[in-house]
Structure 1
Amino acid sequence: MTSFLLINAHVLTVDAADTAYEKGWVAVKDGRIAGTGAMGSEPAGYADIRDLSGHLVMPGLVNAHTHTPMVLFRGVAEGQSLLTMDGWYNAIREPELSLVAEDIPPAVALSCAEMLLSGTTTFCEQYFFAEEIAGAVRQAGLRGVIAYGIVQLGDPDVGKRELALAEAFLAGQRSPDGRVIPWFGPHAPYVDNTEDLLRAEVEVANTYGAGLHMHMAAGPEDNDISLKLYGKTAAVALEETGFFNGRVHVAHCLDLSDEDIAVFARAPAASVAYCATAGLRSGREGICPVVTLRAAGVPVGIGTDNVAANNSYDMVQEMRVAGLVASHREGVAQVISSRDLIRMATIEGAKALGLDHEIGSLDIGKAADIISIDMRGPGWSPTPDVETALVYSGSGRDVQDVWVAGEALVANRKLVRTDYETVRAQYEATHQTFWARVRAAKTKAN
């Protein structure tokens, strides 16, 4: 197993006390964190010692909400709000029907490459073709919580078929190394998953101890439908079905009421993925009430959403937007501190996914999911506040090295398991054939 010692770095452990070392070390033994500390106290006996002077060393970033195959849709949704039913259907759903299994691995490989190269070591996924996604994630080497996406759109036969396929995915996909974790992914409540299907999904998820990852309060349709059917918001109606009894991780949450927030706070394991850039680009007036959710004890991670809605997997950039949007919503400068934004992108995101025992901080015994960030380039200068420099001056492009479970996946800004040029070439060929297929289907329909 991999063992090494990183020295002379500015170390952010993101532990419970937010311990940091201006000039520190991190020891890794057999793929796990063996210790951290200030220089002068570093352990002896390490043959592999790496001097990271001028670098920030911290836990790998956790992207709390993605749809990795949708890199194929990057740049095609301009002028459409993907957080409304009409915008999503027109820009994404119709061409999505032309996807085939062979399209998925090259698209996911490119998304994983972009995430790794910008410091993400764990992500939460919700999409179709979950088997193919899992295979591509294994090849890339980072961690993926992969929720089998279900869109029923009122067809009970589709719901039954997808439920059976999702259960098979849960039964067969958990990887021995813990890097692939299968979940359930109902796309959205009531809009495209009926109450009967949601109840069945909860039952199966609980049987397998899997989490449920879905969108909620992303667009007006969620509550419009549940209010019409039950006279209650989607969150309140779902609580009454038992949906919140297990682990539930929900993306967006732009329109939560105080009563909805209380539902999340009461739940034993409910969390939110805050996707600030996607919300802004959608043109929606609502903004996720992150400050209130966190004050109520609800874990909130940071997510990029898909790169049709966002166009970037850069979680450093996403931390910045998350802070700016929260301050705008609350009318308070820096209402979420830079330190807390980093926690949301690491340990709080890990907690949202039920993985905080394993990742998210540089605590002894945890998996060595670590990134190093070069602080010597443009935008960086000596500062007493490295956290703020990272969030508001830094970029994912400053990431130099990435380790997952102690395995180097990025070294000196280059992928280790494969080369980026190969990944990019395979993706470009897939992009070309996919969109040719979409155009052919549209011509045939007309």
Structure 2
Amino acid sequence: MTRQLLHSATILTVDPHDRVIENGWLVIEDDRIGAIGGAADQPSPAGFDSVTDLSGHLLMPGLVNAHTHSAMVLFRGHAEGHSLLTMEGWYNTIREPELAMIAEDMAPAVALSCAEMVLSGTTTFCDQYFFAEEIAAAAARAGIRAVIAYGIVQLGDEVRGDEELAKASAFVEGQRSADGRIIPWFGPHAPYVDNSEALLLKEVAVANRLGCGIHLHMACGPEDNVDTLARYGTTASVALEKAGFFNGRIHAAHCLDLSDEDIAVFARAEAASVAHCASAGLRSGREAICPVVPLRQAGVTVALGTDNVAANNSYDMVSEMRVAGLVASHREGRAQPISSRELVRMATIEGARALGLDHEIGSIEIGKAADLAAIDISGPGYSTTPDVATLLVYSGSGRDTRHVWVAGEQLVRDRALTRRPFADIRADYNVGYRTFWERVALTRKVA
């Protein structure tokens, strides 16, 4: 057994009691949290394989990015002036150049995204995209924990939809990693907009049979409800509930345009959750804002995500907590309707719960996987405070992350990746980026 001792940290446990342990210590035994405590009962360093002094650091559960598309780092900076939460903006800005993508584009792009995430304290992310096999392989090489949803876009083609469902099923059956870090799901892009009701019901039936979840976009814009309002006189969420779609684990991204009736649908579902992507929503220009406070009051699990970095441009989940807090204050018309502690929970244990992983990650508790982030809070911008969660959310930055562990493996040490140098990852990505956009330009020229 490998044993690591981390000591002298302020530990933000995010456990059921939201304990904060000043001058605390933690023992990692292989891939698990073996013990936690305060200075009075700190064990002797003797007998440990490694000892890490975390004086001046906040030790917390690794952050969970509940919605992104990691390969879309290739589009960063290419969506200026376009709303990616409309069918027109998404199709013209993203979908058209995506048609030039090939499997070989994935590895360097996903490697860079994983590096950026883990270097800013994220230890788990939920992804939805094409080329899921290549994304899963790249995430596995990075060592990060990932839920990879096989992206399905039907766009009215029934045969294509069935073919994609078969491929997604094969992906789920073949991609579960032995170490549990890679978790395969289904990823229909959006209901009614580009996945028919018939296909969605097939997807949830197969997902339930295979024991996996479904990650999709919902209520991103008015067009999401056009079809169901015309056919049934209801929103997409209500129509899907009546059809039986919410009988599975449903993890829905964005959810800007939810009515009270839609919120009730999510609340009634046994395993439905929302990934709130505050920065991407604001940047899209949509007036609608995800009703996080009403959702949480109704008992719905709400996690936080960055969305892709064409819509957001950053994987910094600390920044995402801050924006989520600010936008909630604006929407509700009162100061801080979501506390800093609650925002931290949304970025950790609630994200884990949304992905069905709260028994394994999301809080610092004995027996859970050792997915941890140590953030340096000793430098400029930080000061003594009665509430370290507020310090993190409203003064902090993911770029102050100094050490990261996933399943007990230290992936970041002293702000540097341990598996592969960031400079090498960046160099490979630069080549891949140029190759992809040259291919896009050639495709456009031929067309």
> Shorter-chain TM-score category?
over 0.9
Q: Distance in 2 between matches of 1:66 and 1:194?
A: 23
Name 2:400's counterpart in structure 1. 398
What per-residue deviation string (whole Å, max 9, x for no partner) do you get for residues 215-257 of structure 1? Answer: 0001111112221122110101111121111110000000101
Name 1:96's counterpart in structure 2. 98
1:39 correspondence with 2:39: yes
Name 2:3's counterpart in structure 1. 3
One-letter amino acid of the structure 2 residue matched with residue 37 of structure 1: G
Aligned mate of 2:386, from 376, 384, 387: 384
Q: Distance in 2 between matches of 1:436 and 1:358?
A: 43
Q: Distance in 2 between matches of 1:2 and 1:396?
A: 28
Name 1:20's counterpart in structure 2. 20
Q: Distance in 1 between matches of 2:31 and 2:5?
A: 12
Name 1:255's counterpart in structure 2. 257
Q: Distance in 1 between matches of 2:89 and 2:194?
A: 15
1:347 correspondence with 2:349: yes
3-state SS of the aligned residue for 2:41?
Answer: coil
Identity %: 69
Name 1:307's counterpart in structure 2. 309
One-letter amino acid of the structure 1 residue matched with residue 217 of structure 2: H
One-letter amino acid of the structure 1 residue matched with residue 66 of structure 2: A
Q: Distance in 1 between matches of 2:100 and 2:163?
A: 19
Name 1:367's counterpart in structure 2. 369
3-state SS of the aligned residue for 1:334?
Answer: coil
3-state SS of the aligned residue for 1:70?
Answer: helix
Q: Is the 8 A contact 1:70 1:107 kept in 2?
A: yes
Q: Distance in 2 between matches of 1:2 and 1:16?
A: 28
The Cα shift of 1:49 comes to 2.0
Segment drifting more, 338-347 vs 218-227: 218-227
One-letter amino acid of the structure 2 residue matched with residue 189 of structure 1: P
Q: Distance in 1 between matches of 2:335 and 2:3?
A: 43
1:438 correspondence with 2:440: yes
Q: Distance in 2 between matches of 1:195 and 1:248?
A: 15
One-letter amino acid of the structure 2 residue matched with residue 11 of structure 1: I
Q: Distance in 1 between matches of 2:193 and 2:30?
A: 47
Q: Distance in 2 between matches of 1:78 and 1:220?
A: 21
One-letter amino acid of the structure 2 residue matched with residue 151 of structure 1: V
Counterparts in 2 of 1:265 and 1:46: CA distance versus 1, 3 Å: farther
Name 1:126's counterpart in structure 2. 128
Q: Distance in 2 between matches of 1:387 and 1:255?
A: 30
3-state SS of the aligned residue for 1:95?
Answer: helix
Name 1:186's counterpart in structure 2. 188
- Flag structure 2 segments of 5+ consecutive residues without an equivalent: none
3-state SS of the aligned residue for 1:285?
Answer: coil
Counterparts in 2 of 1:264 and 1:46: CA distance versus 1, 3 Å: farther
Q: Distance in 1 between matches of 2:89 and 2:14?
A: 39
Segment drifting more, 24-33 vs 143-152: 24-33
The Cα shift of 1:40 comes to 1.5
3-state SS of the aligned residue for 1:323?
Answer: helix
Q: Distance in 1 between matches of 2:381 and 2:425?
A: 29
Name 2:208's counterpart in structure 1. 206
3-state SS of the aligned residue for 1:40?
Answer: helix
3-state SS of the aligned residue for 1:192?
Answer: coil
1:331 correspondence with 2:333: yes
One-letter amino acid of the structure 1 residue matched with residue 407 of structure 2: A
Q: Distance in 2 between matches of 1:104 and 1:356?
A: 29
1:222 correspondence with 2:229: no
What per-residue deviation string (whole Å, max 9, x for no partner) do you get for residues 80-112 of structure 1? Answer: 000000000111000010000000011000000
1:420 correspondence with 2:411: no
The Cα shift of 1:41 comes to 1.1
Name 2:413's counterpart in structure 1. 411
Name 1:267's counterpart in structure 2. 269
3-state SS of the aligned residue for 2:293?
Answer: helix
The Cα shift of 1:436 comes to 0.4
3-state SS of the aligned residue for 1:273?
Answer: strand
Given the two structures, how large is their TM-score scaled by the length of structure 1? Answer: 0.99
Name 2:154's counterpart in structure 1. 152
The Cα shift of 1:339 comes to 0.6
Q: Distance in 1 between matches of 2:131 and 2:390?
A: 39
Given the two structures, how large is their TM-score scaled by the length of structure 2? Answer: 0.98
Q: Distance in 1 between matches of 2:51 and 2:142?
A: 25
Q: Distance in 2 between matches of 1:46 and 1:339?
A: 35
Q: Distance in 1 between matches of 2:338 and 2:138?
A: 35
Q: Is the 8 A contact 1:327 1:335 kept in 2?
A: yes
Instruction: Kindly tell me the number of residue pairs found equivalent between the two proteins.
Output: 445
Name 1:233's counterpart in structure 2. 235
Q: Distance in 2 between matches of 1:393 and 1:60?
A: 18
Segment drifting more, 334-343 vs 28-37: 28-37
Counterparts in 2 of 1:46 and 1:372: CA distance versus 1, 3 Å: farther
One-letter amino acid of the structure 2 residue matched with residue 91 of structure 1: T
Counterparts in 2 of 1:312 and 1:166: CA distance versus 1, 3 Å: same
- Flag structure 1 segments of 5+ consecutive residues without an equivalent: none
Q: Is the 8 A contact 1:250 1:273 kept in 2?
A: yes
1:62 correspondence with 2:64: yes
Q: Distance in 2 between matches of 1:43 and 1:351?
A: 32
Q: Is the 8 A contact 1:3 1:31 kept in 2?
A: no
Question: CA RMSD of the aligned region, Å?
Answer: 0.8
Name 2:53's counterpart in structure 1. 51
